[in-house]
Structure 1
């Protein structure tokens, strides 16, 4: 199951060297958008520019603030637990961004009928951010929100959808890291 909103907030992650931001520069954003072009309705030859990157980072922080609210009373991601914008400001930004690039259902016929959502009347920047905001709105208003969790493994900063009742971490690697840290704490005395 793929959730564009989760992919978007997961552009901030931690690795062995510390925090990594896949959208830290124009080249990184260009690569990420091209990788997700089909979901975003973007041209496969898309090239980002600094203003779009800046506005996209602002939107990402707003979505992360909404995710933090959705997992409450659980803790937000450690990546931005203290640096998130206010909830009301975040909600307004996400809704305004989604509204700025409305979509309309269109019937496609590629070997048979299928439904596609086509952005109407907006430039490429607004359509891209609108699709990201819409993905966040759909995710947070949908059934996936109830299973949204923050990974509590050491150094992990990701949100994930809990797919199994016993799932505690976003990945096997995080589970292994958490168990190793717990073992170390219990046996270091």
Structure 2
């Protein structure tokens, strides 16, 4: 399955397996751990494995996540947003401003390489020395790329009970982010049908 950095950031709020919601950015240690797990997606921007989060960086990433989840909610509309924050979403205009401001914190310039044998390639060089600033800017740019790209049209909020994830729909009939959510949703539907049949006196199948 293809991974997107913006989706990984939004998914740091997730179902904990016991009926609640957990936050992968709840502490500086957990935030550092999450940053390190994204090293492959951040490889073109910085060495994520060398970053240790402090409280200021943790709060910056959480605020960026709030903006991203608010814009994800806008993207999936008019379908319902994730139940994790549907009733306390950051206003879309504020989310856009926050996202663009975070992306603008790092000045980058294009650089072209063209070896004697081979095709030319382009990369972005950073004028920013602080890796923490570069990290937040990279996360923001990844969200901009995601939301302005074709995958936005396939973005969905998982509707399985207790799930709070967003996912990119990979085939026409996909309703949930993963098979376990599908199993839970089908079980919940079956239970509701059984309860309805019992309540109205209809014969049960």
What TM bracket, shorter-length normalisation?
Answer: over 0.9
1:126 aligned to 133, 158, 169, which one? 133
Aligned to 1:78: 83
Q: CA deviation at 1:185?
A: 1.0
Change (3 A) 1:122 1:71: farther
Aligned to 2:202: none
Return the index of the structure with the highest Cα Rg: 2
Structure 1 residue ranges (4+ consecutive) displaced by more than 6 angstroms after TM superposition: none
Separation (CA, whole Å) in 2 of partners of 1:25 and 1:42: 22
Separation (CA, whole Å) in 1 of partners of 2:51 and 2:177: 30
Separation (CA, whole Å) in 1 of partners of 2:21 and 2:67: 19
1:34 aligns with 2:36: yes
Partners of 1:100 and 1:122 within 8 A in 2? no
Separation (CA, whole Å) in 2 of partners of 1:31 and 1:118: 26
Unaligned runs of 5+ in 2: 199-205
Q: CA deviation at 1:115?
A: 4.3
Aligned to 1:15: 16
1:102-145 CA distance string (max 9 Å, x none): 33344579xx7754434332522211110111011000000000
1:155 aligns with 2:162: yes
1:138-176 CA distance string (max 9 Å, x none): 000000000000000000000000110000000001001
1:92 aligns with 2:97: yes
Change (3 A) 1:32 1:114: farther
Give SS of 1:160's match.
strand
Partners of 1:150 and 1:157 within 8 A in 2? yes
1:65-116 CA distance string (max 9 Å, x none): 011011110111100001111111110000111111133344579xx77544
2:53 aligned to 48, 52, 58, which one? 48
Partners of 1:101 and 1:122 within 8 A in 2? no
Task: Count residues in correspondence.
Answer: 189
Aligned to 1:69: 74
Separation (CA, whole Å) in 1 of partners of 2:108 and 2:179: 37
